[in-house]
Amino acid sequence: MSDLGIGQIISELFGPLGAVGGVLCIFLLFFIDAIIFPTLPELFTVLVYTQGYGLDPLLFGGVLLGTIMVAEVAGLLTLYTIVRWARVPERIQRVIMNYRDFLVCQDERMILINRVAPVLPFMGAFVALCRWDLKRSVAYTLIGGGLKYGIILALSGFFLSYMERGTATTVTIVMVLVVIALSLVATLYRKRRLEEGRCGDADRPA
């Protein structure tokens, strides 16, 4: 089942509930994105926001941004707790540690970088296994998420103010797709650098 399909199912499930359903949809999408698999939350954030539901755009945008922050922190803490209490095999722990050592940052700052080039899935698991400071990790999650989705929502509101709803929705969706594409390119580039780094280390004499 595709990520987009999951989002559509959740959207259709909560759609009849209006604005409340939209907020619940966003919460579930971001929570699932944080603990299980990607759900394209950027795209559905725009789709829900541009529905409007007859609410003040600034107020609705603030509610959505707050919901996103709560969902991301809840997802991080949920996965962090599961991994901390689970018995993770040492082999997997070594793989995680080796992967961490090739990152641009080996500490909590990687959470911010991950907003641009998402090379770290399951962030809560990385925080737990890498023994990153939990409070700092939560703070960086809030800062990074607030900046990224605050900008997306602000631009969406700007387009809605100066364009017809249909045109504004189309322009905003295109913008988000470009952001996702650029993030994918940055991710692939970073992964390639990581692989080259591993190969270089393997070729060095002991």
More confident residue, 163 or 113: 113
Give tens-digit pLDDT for 81-97.
999 998 888 888 888 88
* pLDDT higher than threshold 60 for residue 2: no
Mean predicted lDDT score pLDDT of the chain: 81
* pLDDT higher than threshold 50 for residue 30: yes
For residues 147-166, average pLDDT: 86
Helices (H), the chain: 3-14, 18-35, 41-49, 57-85, 90-101, 110-113, 123-129, 134-162, 165-203
* pLDDT higher than threshold 50 for residue 4: no
Given this model, what pLDDT does residue 90 score?
A: 84
Integer Cα distance of 36 and 122 in angstroms: 7
Integer Cα distance of 167 and 160 in angstroms: 8
Integer Cα distance of 30 and 42 in angstroms: 9
Place of tokens 């095999």: 89
CA distances from residue 171 to 4, 43, 47, 74 in whole angstroms, order as listed: 19, 12, 11, 31
For residues 51-70, average pLDDT: 92
More confident residue, 174 or 61: 61
Task: Indicate the pTM of the whole model.
Answer: 0.79
* pLDDT higher than threshold 50 for residue 146: yes
Give tens-digit pLDDT for 183-205.
777 667 766 765 665 555 544 44
Share of the chain above pLDDT 90, in %: 29
Integer Cα distance of 85 and 70 in angstroms: 22
CA distances from residue 114 to 107, 140, 157, 159, 162 in whole angstroms, order as listed: 12, 10, 25, 27, 32
